[in-house]
Amino acid sequence: MKKISLAIIIFWIWGTLAYADNIRILVPTPGSTILARRRIITVVLSTKDKKASQIRLKTSEGEISPKGIWEFFGTYYPHFLLRLNPGENNIVIKPYDKEFTIKYKVLQSLLLLNTNDSSVFFFHRYKVNPQPCAKCHTDRIPKGVKINPVLYGPFDPQCISCHQRLFPKGYSKHPPAANWLCRFCHEERGHIRIFAGKPLDLCTQCHVNAKHFYRKKHVHGPVATGDCTACHNPHAGPYPFELTASAHGQICTSCHRDKAVYLQRSPQIHVHGILVGLGCTACHDPHASDYRYQLHQGPINLWCTRCHLKLQGLKRGHPLKTHPLIGPKDPIRKGRKFGCTSCHNPHGSKYRFLLIGDVYGGHVCRKCHPY
């Protein structure tokens, strides 16, 4: 009886292992690290099991069904879209109970990307289209996709069969990407590359006008470091110019978080009208300028009076007849000249007229006149 029970246990273990071996993980490599801005990746499995439609991926957030299953000469290829969490992600393939892990790190900047790190998963590291993916992902235009091939450049439809989700409907698309000229940016010596380093070095091969930014006196931080992709998605973005957030201000406050309060339309805050109407770029050049804070024009008084016309040319007379509007020294901002922003916050304030203090009781006045 013991021999029979032992035989049953051995047979069950062997059967379980054989069942688990019936499934292969093609993409990504188990145990590897995904370094990307997008949290969603494609997981591709391979199996001879005709019940491939029953396969699920179990994660900490629940079970995921395949987005599609393709069959090629008796082998089934379930494709999943998996949402990753920062850190280690443990995934179980059901019903095989096969486990694997994927690490996810948010890619903050291409400046931080090391393509030589073998622990980071790059699908195109060794081949443009490795087997067995090349069986289905060919140079034919995918079904249901409409495009007129351009008459120039490395037109490559096999890229789009996997990377269609880089171009959501209604997004502003970067022309090389929109026309499937992927290898303009991604090919190097016959291999597909993930560009690392200063995106500017690549971008200015087409955007030659961007080179003049560096002749300006004041250059926006991301531009100065050469990281165009800090604001622009190189494939497609939900806003004009492939911006990753609205140019009305949201793209700016993703870094300049102290200014976010002025976009929240709080009744306790008086916000500068032009900021409400046109956003940050009404006054600031997002790339570079010869004027401090990347103002389109300066000095500050000259820029303010482009809208506040009644004050144009005045050196004295606001808010009182003898009060100066311009001066060599700012009493409360050392090293700065006296001007409009000495009394007014150009973005917003909890005080009327965007003042830096309450006009009642002379609080704003006493910042310079303490007696």
Structure tokens at 143: 């079904």
Q: In this model, does residue 17 exceed pLDDT 90?
A: no
Least confident of 150-164, 227-241, 326-340, 344-358: 150-164
Q: Which residues contact 215 (CB under 8 A, 6 or more apart)?
A: none
Name the residue with tokens 């800090």: 230
Nearest to 229 by CA among 243, 239, 219: 243
Domains of the chain: total: 2
E strand or H helix that includes residue 45: strand 40-47
303 — pLDDT class (breaks 50, 70, 90): very high
Domain extent for 326: 245-367
Dihedral through CA 212, CA 195, CA 183, CA 32, nearest 10?
Answer: -160
Least confident of 17-21, 50-54, 222-226: 17-21
Q: In this model, does residue 368 exceed pLDDT 70?
A: yes
Q: Give the N- to C-terminal CA distance of the chain in Å, as an integer.
A: 104
Contact 215, 147 (CB under 8 A): no
Point out the domain boundary residue: 56, 78, 107. 107
CATH code of 80's domain? 2.60.40.10
Distance (Å, rounded) from C-alpha 119 to C-alpha 260?
38
Note whether residue 63 is domain-resident.
yes
Residue 12: what pLDDT? 41
Point out the domain boundary residue: 61, 83, 107. 107
Residue 16: what pLDDT? 42
Distance (Å, rounded) from C-alpha 292 to C-alpha 289?
8
Amino acid at 191: H
pLDDT digits (tens, 9 = 90+) for 228-277: 989 999 999 999 999 999 988 899 999 999 999 998 878 889 999 999 99
Amino acid at 105: K
Q: Which residues contact 67 (CB under 8 A, 6 or more apart)?
A: 79, 80, 81
Nearest to 84 by CA among 29, 31, 120, 34: 34
Point out the domain boundary residue: 46, 79, 107. 107
The DSSP letter of residue 295 is: B
Mean pLDDT of 310-325: 90
Amino acid at 162: C
pTM exceeds 0.85 for this model: no
Distance (Å, rounded) from C-alpha 45 to C-alpha 91?
13
Note whether residue 193 is domain-resident.
no
3-class DSSP state for residue 283?
A: coil
Percent of the chain with pLDDT over 90: 53
56: β partners: 94
Contact 331, 325 (CB under 8 A): no
3-class DSSP state for residue 82?
A: strand
| Edge-to-edge strand list for the sheet holding 40-47 | 23-27, 40-47, 75-83, 68-72
Distance (Å, rounded) from C-alpha 79 to C-alpha 65?
9
Distance (Å, rounded) from C-alpha 371 to C-alpha 366?
7
Amino acid at 126: Y
Q: In this model, does residue 20 exceed pLDDT 70?
A: no
Distance (Å, rounded) from C-alpha 266 to C-alpha 243?
26
What CA–CA distances, in Å, run from 341 to 37, 296, 321, 335?
38, 16, 19, 14
Name the residue with tokens 């971008």: 203
Note whether residue 213 is domain-resident.
no
Mean pLDDT of 283-299: 94
pLDDT digits (tens, 9 = 90+) for 176-205: 888 888 888 887 776 777 776 677 788 888
Note whether residue 208 is domain-resident.
no
From the number of C-beta atoms within 10 Å of its C-beta (0-12, 13-18, 19+), residue 95 rates as: middle
User: DSSP string of 102-152?
Assistant: EEEEE---GGG--TT-TTB--TTSS-SS-TTGGGT--SSPPTT------SS
159 — pLDDT class (breaks 50, 70, 90): confident
